[in-house]
Amino acid sequence: MVVRARRPAAGRDGSPSGTGDSGRDRRPAVGGYRIIQVDEPALRELLPPRSKDKDAYLRWAVDAFRLSTSGVADSTQIHTHLCYSEFGEVIGAIADLDADVTSIEAARSHMEVLGDLNAVGFSNSVGPGIYDIHSPRVPGGGGADLVAA
Which residues are catalytically annotated?
Answer: 134
Q: Can you tell me the distance from the alpha carbon of 132 to that of 47, in angstroms, rounded to the nearest whole number? A: 22
The dihedrals phi and psi of 103, each to the nearest 5 degrees, come to: -100, 135
Q: Can you tell me the distance from the alpha carbon of 98 to that of 79, in angstroms, rounded to the nearest whole number? A: 9
User: Could you tell me which of 9, 147, 37 has the C-alpha nearest to residue 99?
Assistant: 37
2 near 100, Cβ under 8 Å? yes
User: Could you tell me which of 110, 56, 78, 60 has the C-alpha nearest to residue 7?
Assistant: 78
